Chain A
Amino acid sequence: MSDQVTLRVWRGDSTGGAFEDYRLERVEGEVVLDVVHRLQASQAPDLACRWNCKAGKCGSCSAEINGRPSLMCMTRMDKVGGDVVTVAPMRTFPIIRDLVTDVSFNYEVAKRVPAFNPPARPEGGYRMQQVDIERGQEFRKCIECFLCQDVCHVIRDHDELKQRYAGPRFFIRLAELEMHPLDTNDRRRLAKERMGIGLCNITKCCTEVCPEHIKITDNAIIPLKERVVGASYDPVAWLGRVVRRRKVRTSDEASVQPAP
């Protein structure tokens, strides 16, 4: 490897832009975000880039590095390899400027998720076993970097579905709530009718890019799909519900937020 590196960074805004090359010296141990920061402090002070923790915990610095959706703060320059490293903004979301995209779609979807709704607190507090909460804990590792949303082809290629498709980040949220030992709501119909779980065809791209290594497809989406099928099409489950006089909540019934 040479002692110089070229960072090829996309510069522009919503009206258009292009890649620009910057030559910098190579520094041992650096991650892509370090190089972006050195660029800002030297050649490109107005280069827009979102970041916060620089430790892979906040999920702010998502970008496409040599075409692969990644966190800039967790991608070592020496692991990327080569003397030219390309950094582009996430392709699925509208551009604000340079590497910064408008991720407000995700915050809008978040508002439509009915939050955790527990029964009243019993004397002495809630009790839950570690084994019962570990599934939920896996999904709560999510740092909301939205890389899974970025690679999800339903969001990427189907603008017309955005109103009824939530995307992998919110499927793990729904799965977490559905698997919570204390939750009293039932979001299965809602997952199908308003969040579009059925539109996901489990290509596992989301799992592949997750920096927290959450098994989004295997542990959240597929089990959630199974629960939705049980609530909608399974004749045995239907009979069970009739016998036990249980009802699947409609999307409207499920769309309630807990008391403040």
Chain B
Amino acid sequence: MAQLHETEHRECDVLVVGAGGAGLRAAIEAMRRGLRTCVVTKSLLGKAHTVMAEGGIAAAMGNVHPEDSWQVHFRDTMRGGKMLNNYRMAELHAKESPDRVEELEAWGALFDRTEDGRILQRDFGGHRFARLAHVGDRTGLEMIRTLQQKAVSMGVDVAMECKVLRLLTDADGAISGCVAYHRPSGGFLTFSAPAVVLATGGVGKSWKYTSNSWESTGDGHALALWAGGELIDMEAVQFHPTGMVWPLSVRGLLVTESVRGDGGVLRNADGERFMFKYVAEMFRAETAETEEEGDRWYDDHAAGRRPPELLPRDEVARAINAEVKAGRGSPHGGVFLDIASRRSAEYIKRRLPSMYHQFMELAGVDITRTPMEIGPTCHYIMGGVRVDADTAATCVPGLFAAGEVAGGMHGSNRLGGNSLSDLLVFGRRAGTGAADYVSGGRGVAPLDGTAVDAAVEEAIAPFSRDAGESPYEVQHDLQDLMQTNVGIIRTGTELTDALTALDALAARVANLSVRGGRAYNPGWNLATDLPSMLTVSRCTTLGAINRTESRGGHTREDYPSPDAELGKVNFVHSQPSGGGYREEIKTVPEPILEMPGELHSLFEDPT
């Protein structure tokens, strides 16, 4: 069909949506293969959410603990994810992340060093050995700048400040391109590309207290679902245990896990190190029983077992939540994270410079003298687009996904440090997967003009409604709803109520009005983000209703224990009768990928 709305048109072989770690790494790989590659990003280049990552990149390089190996990293990752992970992704990730870190170094990253000049690695929650390659507490910045500079040196083509509205498919359901708009001008664009790599990151902006930026609206999750893809494990949302709680305006802002990795401890209002009370059976054998034992471990991992502050994030977040609920919280509704009484001011400033700066400037708190007030914050979604581990291919021909938008790698809970390595390992694999697909003879095909027009018309509709609602109000209510009903602790009735409320919110999204023109209009931009936010929120709620157990980042008050049978399935969401934020979502359980025997044997040793 002929297209009625005029758009600027571009063509390439591989279109990468998102310019964070995964997107840039995918683009680099596609360019290395000599393919015409274009990166589309909602922000400026180098500003993606990867920049916020603080602690480090997990990779079993063994620079600090030579006994570390991919097998141990694999085992930690699977246990952290409560065995819901796609084992093959966890395996590839553990095997390949050391190479990906060294590659970054060859591209100019300046990691902190060991005494003998190698890449230094630090301790983190859930990792048996010190494994995180890092640069102080600004590892994400180092990673994104390195990838950005590498991609620019290769002549990458980046469409900055562009938002993708819809993926386009041909008559056979294979990817043909996408419709987008350019935020500075408000002009529409179409891209023809046989392969699209989704690398759009997370969904946190649908919650009220989040460490995520405005960009994390689940665009890639929604684009994939609408185009015929499947989402899995959407109920698995990670609430990072340590976000700032005061001042209110920065509530949710991340406080790196490195504070605990470098010696910080959690205390309640009574000054008690409460984490010792919350050690789950699964982790008891490897966790210290007394404060003295935990403290010995920092200096010598053989002299004691790890302190419980370094349990996986889901365990710590639930414990903090329980302490606050029991009335032992800090003045602003969190608990205390104390490194001031445990490490010298000089050490804290050297190891945690951005945390020092962040608390000093935003809260007026000197963390070298005073404990921080912290509480859980919506941080990461483990669930995402269902992909093939080796190629990052989705079930839609030509569509690939990598990084936070992809599901499976982290199971029901992600270990700190595993996201940056995930971006590198699967970003590269998505680039290779897309390049192989294109090299297999897929070329640029004409776009479906009707679908382009429909996407454009849906996007501009809010301008022609006079009496509709402000997108900010709908976003505010969505965030309130998700925080209250689909937050860190969930119950069946609240989730069912949320589903009804989400339908009502979707009806309000269909009746938004926007003031002003299309050029750099944040109100309009938000109106175009809300359909994705609604879509992923519905999937998260549906997954949470179906998963009648507690596992990793998903905690049901009415089903407080894990259920062995549910541990064998993923809940898979799809839209068989047409993609859209108001269309029906089908949710079915499907068996998880079965782990081969030789990997199973890694879990037999109880320590």
* Bound CA span A55–B149, Å: 23
Stretch at the interface among B108-116, B263-271, B425-433: B108-116
Shortest CB distance B158–A (Å): 8
Question: Do B47 and A59 touch across chains, with their CB atoms under 8 A apart?
Answer: yes
Query: For residues 331 through 382 of chain B, which have their beta carbon under 8 Å from a beta carbon of chain A?
Result: 354, 357-358, 361-363
B 87-114 binary contact with A (CB < 8 Å = 1; else 0): 0000000000000001001111010110
* In the assembled complex, B66 has its CB within 8 A of some CB on chain A: no
Question: Do A129 and B117 touch across chains, with their CB atoms under 8 A apart?
Answer: yes
* In the assembled complex, B544 has its CB within 8 A of some CB on chain A: no
Question: Do A47 and B522 touch across chains, with their CB atoms under 8 A apart?
Answer: yes
Shortest CB distance B595–A (Å): 31
* In the assembled complex, A199 has its CB within 8 A of some CB on chain B: no
Contact flag A143-B141 (CB < 8 Å), given A27-B249, A30-B249: yes
* In the assembled complex, A58 has its CB within 8 A of some CB on chain B: yes
* In the assembled complex, A76 has its CB within 8 A of some CB on chain B: yes
Contact flag A45-B516 (CB < 8 Å), given A57-B138, A140-B135, A140-B142: yes
Q: Report the number of A-B residue pairs with Cβ-Cβ less than 8 Å.
A: 174
* In the assembled complex, A13 has its CB within 8 A of some CB on chain B: yes
* Bound CA span A83–B112, Å: 45
Question: Do B516 and A46 touch across chains, with their CB atoms under 8 A apart?
Answer: yes
The listed residue (A76, A107, A110) touching B362 by CB distance below 8 A is A76
A258 (CB) vs chain B CBs: closest residue: B153
The listed residue (B47, B106, B515, B517) touching A60 by CB distance below 8 A is B47
Query: For residues 75 through 93 of chain B, which have their beta carbon under 8 Å from a beta carbon of chain A?
Result: none
Question: For residue A116, which residues in chain B have a CB less than 8 angstroms away from its CB?
Answer: 107-108, 149
Question: Do B47 and A45 touch across chains, with their CB atoms under 8 A apart?
Answer: no
* In the assembled complex, A85 has its CB within 8 A of some CB on chain B: no
* In the assembled complex, B514 has its CB within 8 A of some CB on chain A: yes
* In the assembled complex, B240 has its CB within 8 A of some CB on chain A: no
Question: For residue B470, which residues in chain A have a CB less than 8 angstroms away from its CB?
Answer: 41, 45
Question: Do B153 and A115 touch across chains, with their CB atoms under 8 A apart?
Answer: yes
Question: Do A53 and B49 touch across chains, with their CB atoms under 8 A apart?
Answer: yes
* Bound CA span A1–B373, Å: 27
* In the assembled complex, A241 has its CB within 8 A of some CB on chain B: no
Question: For residue A45, which residues in chain B have a CB less than 8 angstroms away from its CB?
Answer: 470-472, 514-516, 522-523
Question: Do B472 and A28 touch across chains, with their CB atoms under 8 A apart?
Answer: no
The listed residue (B135, B184, B473) touching A100 by CB distance below 8 A is B184
* In the assembled complex, A158 has its CB within 8 A of some CB on chain B: no
Question: Do A56 and B45 touch across chains, with their CB atoms under 8 A apart?
Answer: no
* In the assembled complex, B52 has its CB within 8 A of some CB on chain A: yes
Shortest CB distance A224–B (Å): 17
Question: For residue A28, which residues in chain B have a CB less than 8 angstroms away from its CB?
Answer: 247-248
A134 (CB) vs chain B CBs: closest residue: B110
Question: Do A54 and B522 touch across chains, with their CB atoms under 8 A apart?
Answer: no
* In the assembled complex, B215 has its CB within 8 A of some CB on chain A: yes
* In the assembled complex, A50 has its CB within 8 A of some CB on chain B: yes
Interface size on A (CB < 8 Å)? 62
* In the assembled complex, A236 has its CB within 8 A of some CB on chain B: no
The listed residue (B28, B116, B160, B522) touching A40 by CB distance below 8 A is B522
Question: Do A13 and B31 touch across chains, with their CB atoms under 8 A apart?
Answer: no
The listed residue (A46, A102, A128) touching B521 by CB distance below 8 A is A46
The listed residue (A74, A76, A107, A177) touching B45 by CB distance below 8 A is A107
* Bound CA span A53–B136, Å: 18
Stretch at the interface among A118-126, A160-168, A226-234, A245-253: A118-126
Question: Do B31 and A260 touch across chains, with their CB atoms under 8 A apart?
Answer: yes
The listed residue (A31, A42, A97, A107) touching B519 by CB distance below 8 A is A97
* Bound CA span A76–B365, Å: 14
Question: For residue B153, which residues in chain A have a CB less than 8 angstroms away from its CB?
Answer: 114-115, 257-258
A 198-210 binary contact with B (CB < 8 Å = 1; else 0): 0000000000000
Question: For residue B250, which residues in chain A have a CB less than 8 angstroms away from its CB?
Answer: 29, 31, 54-55
* In the assembled complex, A244 has its CB within 8 A of some CB on chain B: no
* In the assembled complex, B150 has its CB within 8 A of some CB on chain A: yes
Q: Which of B108, B112, B140, B363 has the most CB of A within 10 A?
A: B108
Contact flag A13-B43 (CB < 8 Å), given A30-B249, A55-B253, A180-B108: no
Shortest CB distance B534–A (Å): 18
* Bound CA span A107–B227, Å: 33
Contact flag A115-B149 (CB < 8 Å), given A52-B215, A57-B354: yes
Shortest CB distance B464–A (Å): 16
* Bound CA span A126–B357, Å: 32
The listed residue (B49, B110, B249, B516) touching A52 by CB distance below 8 A is B49
* Bound CA span A230–B28, Å: 36
Query: For residues 86 through 124 of chain A, which have their beta carbon under 8 Å from a beta carbon of chain B?
Result: 96-98, 100, 102-103, 107, 110-111, 113-116, 118, 121
Question: Do B521 and A29 touch across chains, with their CB atoms under 8 A apart?
Answer: no
* In the assembled complex, A133 has its CB within 8 A of some CB on chain B: yes
A256 (CB) vs chain B CBs: closest residue: B153
Question: Do B520 and A100 touch across chains, with their CB atoms under 8 A apart?
Answer: yes
Contact flag A125-B247 (CB < 8 Å), given A56-B361, A116-B149: no
Shortest CB distance A162–B (Å): 19
* In the assembled complex, B602 has its CB within 8 A of some CB on chain A: no
Question: Do A96 and B476 touch across chains, with their CB atoms under 8 A apart?
Answer: no
Question: Do A31 and B362 touch across chains, with their CB atoms under 8 A apart?
Answer: yes
Question: For residue B184, which residues in chain A have a CB less than 8 angstroms away from its CB?
Answer: 96-97, 100, 102
Query: For residues 43 through 89 of chain B, which have their beta carbon under 8 Å from a beta carbon of chain A?
Result: 43-49, 51-52
Question: Do B246 and A29 touch across chains, with their CB atoms under 8 A apart?
Answer: yes
Contact flag A58-B523 (CB < 8 Å), given A76-B361, A121-B102, A137-B110: no
Contact flag A115-B108 (CB < 8 Å), given A34-B249, A110-B152: yes
Question: Do B145 and A30 touch across chains, with their CB atoms under 8 A apart?
Answer: no
Question: Do A30 and B247 touch across chains, with their CB atoms under 8 A apart?
Answer: yes
Q: Which of A29, A30, A55 has the most CB of B within 10 A?
A: A55
Question: For residue A2, which residues in chain B have a CB less than 8 angstroms away from its CB?
Answer: none
* In the assembled complex, B524 has its CB within 8 A of some CB on chain A: yes
Question: For residue B116, which residues in chain A have a CB less than 8 angstroms away from its CB?
Answer: 127
Question: For residue A107, which residues in chain B have a CB less than 8 angstroms away from its CB?
Answer: 44-45, 160
* Bound CA span A56–B402, Å: 27
Question: For residue A142, which residues in chain B have a CB less than 8 angstroms away from its CB?
Answer: 145
The listed residue (A46, A52, A98, A128) touching B523 by CB distance below 8 A is A46
* Bound CA span A125–B61, Å: 11
* In the assembled complex, B454 has its CB within 8 A of some CB on chain A: no
Q: Which of B45, B153, B160, B514 has the most CB of A within 10 A?
A: B153
A183 (CB) vs chain B CBs: closest residue: B108
A 53-73 binary contact with B (CB < 8 Å = 1; else 0): 111111110000000000000
Question: Do A96 and B47 touch across chains, with their CB atoms under 8 A apart?
Answer: no
Question: Do A58 and B106 touch across chains, with their CB atoms under 8 A apart?
Answer: no
* Bound CA span A60–B522, Å: 15
Question: For residue B524, which residues in chain A have a CB less than 8 angstroms away from its CB?
Answer: 46
* In the assembled complex, B154 has its CB within 8 A of some CB on chain A: yes
* Bound CA span A76–B155, Å: 39
Shortest CB distance A81–B (Å): 15
* In the assembled complex, A51 has its CB within 8 A of some CB on chain B: yes
Known: A52-B47, A129-B117. 7 other contacts (CB 8 A): A29-B248, A40-B472, A45-B472, A51-B213, A55-B52, A55-B358, A257-B154
Q: Hey, which bits of chain B sit against chain A, CB under 8 A? A: 28, 31-32, 43-49, 51-52, 102, 105-108, 110, 112-113, 116-119, 135-136, 138, 140-142, 145, 149-150, 152-155, 160, 184, 213-215, 246-250, 253-254, 354, 357-358, 361-363, 470-473, 476, 514-517, 519-524
Instruction: Name 18 interchain pairs, CB-CB below 8 A, sorted by A.
Output: A28-B247, A29-B247, A41-B472, A48-B521, A49-B522, A51-B213, A51-B214, A53-B52, A58-B213, A60-B43, A60-B47, A97-B520, A115-B150, A116-B108, A126-B105, A140-B110, A140-B141, A260-B32
Top 7 A-B pairs, shortest CB-CB distance: A29-B247, A46-B516, A116-B108, A45-B523, A127-B117, A115-B153, A48-B520
